[in-house]
């Protein structure tokens, strides 16, 4: 009986403990801790962490509520019968086992929102303290300014001087002085650049040439100069720009921008011009515009330039009178920088010259002195292209192969677009960056003949964002073998000659060959050895003399032949033997004595 009572007591105690365990388990989820719904934040966090009821996701330093401790109770759970059994046989009575209910923690997936970065643009980010009084012009911010508010010499923190009297490349007559109040001074808010009739050395006149070099150098921008021009025959006033670093070589290869020029003898007409390696007044190919402005000497006018990649525009009093750009179709054989070197930093120049190749065309009227160019202000604006940018640029389109040779390829394309502005294009061969250009064309040189290349172009904007690559596969030309018959008109380069229809066959012949003219043929010698050439020539009355040059400075032979009696009366003349080395070579056929036509020549390997 004693054993039976012990068993009954143990059974009841087990039931109570099971019931307590079940209640404790349920309490952990039915009443979540208050601290579990609040996630502490730090300054480095940019988004609020989602709320979770799983206390295991709390940070290690989060406070947690102590679990409730339940004392054992003698109350029997409702699930367990309250009546005690009348008879409890220990051999047959098994304790009732109630499995505790397990409540899984709620693991609701947190809703994660992508962090949103609000675009912030400071439209005065480029403006220095001294220019804060100036308003923006649309997106253009004032970055450099001189209002000439302090009397005396021009501000030395902004202006330097070009000094001397050597003619300045234009046979000018003045001597430019250095910080001389007679020639450059500020008075009543106006800069005066004054030309005088006075002798300095061999020069009969003095003047000043102010420059911003190293004090104001800009790549792209909007430049405004409010000025009044000097009067009088012989003056040559200019507001213009030169490159600061001369990246592409001396004048004119690194460029010149003439925002405004005015020569006194051409009263009431202003001029705007650019000069480059291919287009300059030395060659007579400069590109310029002119505009009538009747009060140029009597009133102040606003002269302005807007310069952006591959574009320069000139204005007077807000009216555009000149536009300069790049045309890939008219510059196929022109080096990019020779056509458009305006992708480097330039500085501003203000000067009054006297005489010279242009200003002095009608001489100098000495009665006009002193005479001055007056400047009210100079203001320079730029856009924060990178700061405004939000999107990637597009790739180029309409990629066209314009020209191939044995060692170069030339492409053009339609300009890509950007939400602000394209900065330049990166040019790749396979995965190697080989060049960059702001223009919409490129010639790639120093390639191997008869070789396939994979070209890729990538657009890049001012913030460094890039476009997908746009590709083109091209094979360079092969070089003809230096063996067999070569038509005379198939020259690689030539000087002084022309072609015409030949009566010897259905091809063209080269004619109008004078002394010193030449034709160059690019040929490949596959086997070194001894060779001989036969020329098909015609000469009406004087014959001719030919020499051949390849790699050496001395000719391989000199061939002299007699007249044939007519320009289309043909004969074949043959050279002595000579040796050639292996490789691609330029064969220069020089007419030491002209007066003949050439239809073709044939190269034969003797041994």
User: Are 171 and 311 in contact, with CB atoms under 8 Å apart?
Assistant: no
- The burial class, CB within 10 Å (0-12 / 13-18 / 19+), for 503 is middle
Hey, what are 287's tokens?
Answer: 């590109």
Residues 370, 428, single domain; the answer is: no
Q: 388 lies in a domain?
A: no
| R_g of the chain computed on alpha carbons | 44
Residues 438, 560, single domain; the answer is: no
Our count of domains for the chain comes to: 4
pLDDT at 7 over 60: no
At 75 the pLDDT is 39
* Segment among 21-30, 174-183, 270-279 with least mean pLDDT: 21-30
CATH code assigned at 587:
2.60.120.260
Residues 326, 352, single domain; the answer is: yes
**Average of per-residue pLDDT values in the chain:** 86
At 4 the pLDDT is 37
Segment 310-345, tens digit of pLDDT: 999 999 999 999 999 999 999 999 999 999 999 999
The C-alpha atoms of residue 538 and residue 441 are separated, in whole angstroms, by: 43
At 278 the pLDDT is 97
Whole-angstrom CA distances from 51 to 13, 29, 43, 336 are 40, 15, 19, 61
At 114 the pLDDT is 57
At 607 the pLDDT is 84
The C-alpha atoms of residue 202 and residue 204 are separated, in whole angstroms, by: 7
Percent of the chain's residues with pLDDT above 90: 79
Q: Which domain holds residue 324?
A: 138-382
Backbone angles phi, psi at 131, to 5 degrees: -110, 10
| Strand partners of residue 585 | 523
Residues 443, 542, single domain; the answer is: no
Residues 432, 521, single domain; the answer is: no
Residues 252, 276, single domain; the answer is: yes
The C-alpha atoms of residue 343 and residue 275 are separated, in whole angstroms, by: 14
* Segment among 37-41, 202-206, 387-391, 541-545 with least mean pLDDT: 37-41
- Higher model confidence: residue 228 or residue 105? 228
Q: 227 lies in a domain?
A: yes
Segment 89-132, tens digit of pLDDT: 433 334 444 343 333 433 344 445 555 568 889 999 999 999 99
Given the residues 261, 304, 458, 460, select the one marked as catalytic: 261
Residues 268, 358, single domain; the answer is: yes
User: Pairing between strand 311-316 and 301-308?
Assistant: antiparallel
CATH code assigned at 279:
2.60.120.200
Q: 122 lies in a domain?
A: no
307-333 per-residue burial string, b: 16 or more CB within 10 A, e: under 16: bbbbebbbbbeeeebbebebebeebee
Q: What is the DSSP letter of 330?
A: S
Residues 16, 83, single domain; the answer is: yes
Given the residues 22, 172, 256, 297, select the one marked as catalytic: 256
Residues 464, 499, single domain; the answer is: no
- Higher model confidence: residue 26 or residue 379? 379
The C-alpha atoms of residue 85 and residue 96 are separated, in whole angstroms, by: 13
Last residue of a domain, one of 453, 475, 497: 475
Region 382-406: what's the mean pLDDT? 97
Last residue of a domain, one of 423, 449, 475: 475
- pLDDT level of residue 10 (50, 70, 90 thresholds): very low
At 552 the pLDDT is 85
Bond into 252 cis (ω within 30): yes
Q: 391 lies in a domain?
A: no
Region 191-204: what's the mean pLDDT? 97
562 as an active site residue: the answer is no
79 as an active site residue: the answer is no
Residues 373, 321, single domain; the answer is: yes
Q: 365 lies in a domain?
A: yes
Residues 6+ apart with CB under 8 A from 133: none
Dihedral sign (CA 38, 44, 47, 50): negative
Residues 463, 512, single domain; the answer is: no
Last residue of a domain, one of 450, 475, 500: 475
Residue 527 C-beta-side C-alpha neighbours within 13 Å: 9
CATH code assigned at 457:
2.60.40.10
Dihedral sign (CA 269, 270, 271, 272): negative
- pLDDT level of residue 195 (50, 70, 90 thresholds): very high
pLDDT at 288 over 80: yes
Q: 395 lies in a domain?
A: no
Q: 599 lies in a domain?
A: yes
- Higher model confidence: residue 419 or residue 29? 419
Q: 118 lies in a domain?
A: no
Residues 367, 428, single domain; the answer is: no
| Strand partners of residue 485 | 602
């Amino acid at each position: 009986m004693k054993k039976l009572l012990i068993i009954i007591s143990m059974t009841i105690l087990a039931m109570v403990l099971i019931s307590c365990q079940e209640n404790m388990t349920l309490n952990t989820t039915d009443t979540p801790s208050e601290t579990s719904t609040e996630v502490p934040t730090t300054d480095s966090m940019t988004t609020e962490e989602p709320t979770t009821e799983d206390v295991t996701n709390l940070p290690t330093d989060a406070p947690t509520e102590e679990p409730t401790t339940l004392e054992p109770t003698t109350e029997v759970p409702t699930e367990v019968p309250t009546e005690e059994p009348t008879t409890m046989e220990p051999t047959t009575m098994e304790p009732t086992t109630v499995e505790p209910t397990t409540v899984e923690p709620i693991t609701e997936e947190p809703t994660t929102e992508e962090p949103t970065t609000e675009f912030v643009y400071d439209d005065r980010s480029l403006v220095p303290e001294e220019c804060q009084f100036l308003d923006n012009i649309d997106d253009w911010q004032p970055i450099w300014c001189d209002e000439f508010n302090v009397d005396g010499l021009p501000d030395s923190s902004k202006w330097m001087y070009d000094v001397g009297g050597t003619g300045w490349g234009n046979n000018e007559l003045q001597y430019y002085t250095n910080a001389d109040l007679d020639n450059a001074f500020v008075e009543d808010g106006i800069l005066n650049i004054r030309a005088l009739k006075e002798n300095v050395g061999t020069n009969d006149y003095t003047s000043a040439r102010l420059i911003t070099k190293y004090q104001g150098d800009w790549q792209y921008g909007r430049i405004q100069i409010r000025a009044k021009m000097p009067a009088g025959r012989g003056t040559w006033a200019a507001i213009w720009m030169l490159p600061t670093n001369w990246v592409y070589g001396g004048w004119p290869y690194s460029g010149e921008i003439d925002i405004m020029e005015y020569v006194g003898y051409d009263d009431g007409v202003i001029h705007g011009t650019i000069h480059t390696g291919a287009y300059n007044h030395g060659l007579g190919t400069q590109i310029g515009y002119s505009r009538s402005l009747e009060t140029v000497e009597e009133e102040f006018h606003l002269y302005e330039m807007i310069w952006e990649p591959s574009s320069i525009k000139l204005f007077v009093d807000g009216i555009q009178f000149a536009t300069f750009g790049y045309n890939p179709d008219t510059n196929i054989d022109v080096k990019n920088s020779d056509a458009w070197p305006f992708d480097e930093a330039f500085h501003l120049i203000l000067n009054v010259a006297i005489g010279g190749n242009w200003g002095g065309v009608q001489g100098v009227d000495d009665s006009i002195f002193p005479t001055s160019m007056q400047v009210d202000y100079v203001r320079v604006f730029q856009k924060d292209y990178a700061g405004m940018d939000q999107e990637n640029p597009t790739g180029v389109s309409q990629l066209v192969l314009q020209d191939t040779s044995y060692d170069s390829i030339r492409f053009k394309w339609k300009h890509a677009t950007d939400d602000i502005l394209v900065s330049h294009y990166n040019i790749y061969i396979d995965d190697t960056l080989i060049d960059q250009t702001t223009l919409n064309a490129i010639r790639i040189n120093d390639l191997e003949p008869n070789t396939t290349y994979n070209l890729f172009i990538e657009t890049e904007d001012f913030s460094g964002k890039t476009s997908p690559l746009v590709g083109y596969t091209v094979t360079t030309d092969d070089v003809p073998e230096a063996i067999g018959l070569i038509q005379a008109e198939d020259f690689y380069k030539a000087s002084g000659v022309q072609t015409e229809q030949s009566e010897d066959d259905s091809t063209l012949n080269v004619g109008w060959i004078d002394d010193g003219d030449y034709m160059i043929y690019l040929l490949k010698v596959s086997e070194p050895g001894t060779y001989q050439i036969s020329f098909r020539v015609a000469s009406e009355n004087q014959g001719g003399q030919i020499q051949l040059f390849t790699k050496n400075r001395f000719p391989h032979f000199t061939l002299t032949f007699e007249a044939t009696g007519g320009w289309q009366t043909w004969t074949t003349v043959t050279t002595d033997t000579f040796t050639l080395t292996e490789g691609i070579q330029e064969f220069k056929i020089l007419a030491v004595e002209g007066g003949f036509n050439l239809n073709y020549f044939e190269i034969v390997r003797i041994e």
